[in-house]
Amino acid sequence: MPSTAITTVELTILDDHVESRVDAVLRPAPDDGAGPHVWLTHADVERALGFTRKPQGWCRGEICIPAAAVARIEDASAGVGLLDVTAFAELLGRPVATEPAARVLALGASAADRSAALAAGDAPDFTLPDADGVEHSLGELRGRKVALVFWASWCGCRYDLPAWERQHAELAAEGFSVLSVAVDRRTEDAAPWIAEAAPTHPALIDVDGRVADLYQLLNVPTVVWIDEHGRIARPNDTQFATDLFRSMSGLDSGKTLAALRRWVTTGDAGVDADTVAGLTEPSTPERQRARTEAALALWLLRHGHERAAERHFAAASELAPEDVTTWRSAMPLLGVDPMGDEYFARRSALEAAGVPIYRPLPERA
C-alpha cells in the first residue's frame, strides 16, 4: 500500500481495545511521514470512535474538540464529510499504531487521560472473564474492601495465589474480598495455576492487557487496595503473600499481610487520600505508545501476521523498557522463555540503568 497514492480500503480500527471495521480512505501523510493518514466519513467516525460532529465541534460525552481546531483536517470536497482520524488522534493526545499491510489501525489512551483517572482516586471499573469464560466485574464487590492482585504464570508470584485465597477466606466475614487478575495473554497459560489454587474469589484473566493499562501496571506482583466505596486506599504496590522469593525481592510478606489485616479490620491503610494521589505514578506518552503498539501486535499475532507482530512487540519494548508487564507478557507468544536468559539479561540492564524491577511503596505508606 504505497503512501503516495489515495486508496480506499476496508480497515480494522482498534479503539482502546474495541474493534470495528470501516471503509477508510488512505492518503499520504501531509509531511511525507512514515505512513498514510486514515480518513473516515462522519458516520464511521461516530460508529468507530463515538465522536459526533456538532456545530461547536467533535464531541463525545464531556469531551469536545472545537470546530476551528478540526477544520484543517476535515474535507467535504468528495461530496461526503471526511475526517483525518490520524491527525484527530494527535489532537486528542492519543497514540496511533498502524500496520498498513494488514489493514489495521490501533488507537490507545492518552497519558493524560490514564493519569487523571487514577489520580482522581476512583478505582477504574472493569469486566473480565475467568478461566471458564464467565465474566465478573470489580463493581460487583462494591461495599467490600478489595485487594486487587495482579499476577502472571510467568512470575514466581503464581505460587502466591493459594495464599491470597487464604486471606480471602479468612477475612471474608470482615467484609473483605480478593480479586485476582492474571496478565497472561492466553487463558490456557493462567488456567492451570488458577485450577490448582481452587479459588473461591474471582480469579480473572486480562488477555488483552486492558486492565493492566487502566491501572498503569509495570510489573507483577502488584496489589491495589480498594475501599468499600470504590476508592483506591493504597495504590500500586509490590506485595507478596509468601516469602518464597524474599531473597530476590527483599520484601517481607509477614509485614504485608499484617498491614492488610490492619486495613481490613480498622480501616487504617497507612495513607490518606492526598498521599494516595502523591504515590500514584503518572503514565507517559511513551508508555501509552508502547501499550498501543502491543495491542496492535496482539491483534496481528491472533490474525496470523507473525512477522508484523514481532516488529510491533519490539517497538513496544523499545518505547517503554521499564514496562516489564508489556514486554514480558509477549515472550511466551513469541516462543521466548519468560523466565530464561533473555528475561534476566533485560532485567539486569534495567537494574544497571537504575530502573526498579519491584516498586514497593514506603513501609508506612
DSSP state of 174: G
136: left (phi > 0), else alpha (psi -120 to 50), else beta?
beta
pLDDT of residue 364: 61
Query: Lowest mean pLDDT: which of 12-21, 114-123, 287-296, 356-365?
Result: 356-365
pLDDT of residue 76: 84
Separation of alpha carbons 261 and 267, rounded Å: 9
Write down how long the chain is.
365
Extract the runs of DSSP E, i.e. beta strands, from 16-161.
Answer: 18-27, 37-41, 52-54, 57-60, 63-66, 74-75, 82-84, 96-99, 104-107, 127-129, 135-137, 145-151
pLDDT of residue 32: 53
Query: Does residue 36 surpass a pLDDT of 90?
Result: no
Helix axes 306-319, 285-302, angle to 10 degrees: 170
pLDDT digits (tens, 9 = 90+) for 238-259: 999 999 999 999 999 999 999 9
pLDDT of residue 34: 62
Query: Lowest mean pLDDT: which of 48-57, 129-138, 272-281, 356-365?
Result: 356-365
Closest CA to 186 of 288, 321, 330, 20: 330
Separation of alpha carbons 135 and 329, rounded Å: 22
The predicted model gives 286-303 an average pLDDT of 98
Grid cell in block for residue 195: 485450577
pLDDT of residue 235: 97
Q: Give me the chain's average pLDDT, please.
A: 94
Domain 115-279, CATH among 3.50.4.10, 3.40.140.10, 3.40.30.10, 1.25.10.10: 3.40.30.10
CA 69 to chain centre: 29
pLDDT digits (tens, 9 = 90+) for 60-93: 998 899 999 999 999 988 678 999 999 999 999 9
Separation of alpha carbons 76 and 83, rounded Å: 9
Q: What CA–CA distances, in Å, run from 337 to 13, 124, 342?
A: 31, 32, 8
Domain 7-108, CATH among 3.20.20, 3.10.20, 2.40.128, 3.40.720: 3.10.20
Percent of the chain with pLDDT over 90: 89
Grid cell in block for residue 348: 539486569
**N-to-C CA span, the chain:** 53
Largest interatomic CA distance in the chain:
68
Closest CA to 97 of 283, 282, 334, 298: 298
Task: Sketch the domain layout of the chain as residue ranges.
Answer: 7-108, 115-279
Residue 312 near residue 99, CB atoms below 8 Å: yes
- Identify the three-state secondary structure at position 301: helix
Closest CA to 58 of 80, 79, 24, 85: 85
The predicted model gives 311-332 an average pLDDT of 98
Separation of alpha carbons 70 and 57, rounded Å: 7
pLDDT of residue 4: 44
Spell out a b/e string for 134-159, using b for 16 or more CB atoms within 10 Å of the CB, else e: eebebeebeebbbbbbbbbbbbbbbb
Separation of alpha carbons 34 and 356, rounded Å: 34
Q: What CA–CA distances, in Å, run from 303 to 69, 102, 129, 169, 190?
A: 37, 9, 21, 41, 22
